[in-house]
């Protein structure tokens, strides 16, 4: 019985840790929800802007794992469409809750 209780407690704590939001700083590209990872490069600015005007959303593509996050503050990233940037914020599921964004240093890739 004690082992079962310990296992249930451990599983509950593990699942709680997974659902917690992750705070941090990441480097990657501002792309659009139509292209995602394919649009994560310095040559995609015009395409990203066109897709967003057509109804897509701005997304952030993390350099390290190529994971795509929808950006909550669409207006804050518009000027960085197609740019390589460093963002600070909180990741909650598939959404990046943006605190700040700036151009990434040239040697960050």
Residue spans of the domains in the chain: they are 22-103
**Structure tokens of 87?**
């963002």
pLDDT at 32 over 60: yes
Measured over the CA atoms of residue 80, residue 85, residue 90 and residue 93, the dihedral's sign is positive
3-state SS class at 35: coil
- Predicted TM-score (pTM) of this structure: 0.78
- Nearest 5°: phi and psi at 104? -75, 145
The model's pLDDT over 46-95, given as tens digits with 9 standing for 90+, comes to 999 999 999 999 999 999 999 999 999 999 999 999 999 999 999 999 99
């Amino acid at each position: 019985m004690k082992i079962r209780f310990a296992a249930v407690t451990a599983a509950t704590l593990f699942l709680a840790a997974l659902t917690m939001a992750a705070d941090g700083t990441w480097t990657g590209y501002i792309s659009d929800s139509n292209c995602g990872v394919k649009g994560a490069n310095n040559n995609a600015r015009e395409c990203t802007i066109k897709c967003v005007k057509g109804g897509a959303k701005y997304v952030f593509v993390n350099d390290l794992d190529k994971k795509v996050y929808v950006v909550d503050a669409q207006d804050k990233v518009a000027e960085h469409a197609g740019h390589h940037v460093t963002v600070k914020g909180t990741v909650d599921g598939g959404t990046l809750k943006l605190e700040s964004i700036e151009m990434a240093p040239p040697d960050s890739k």
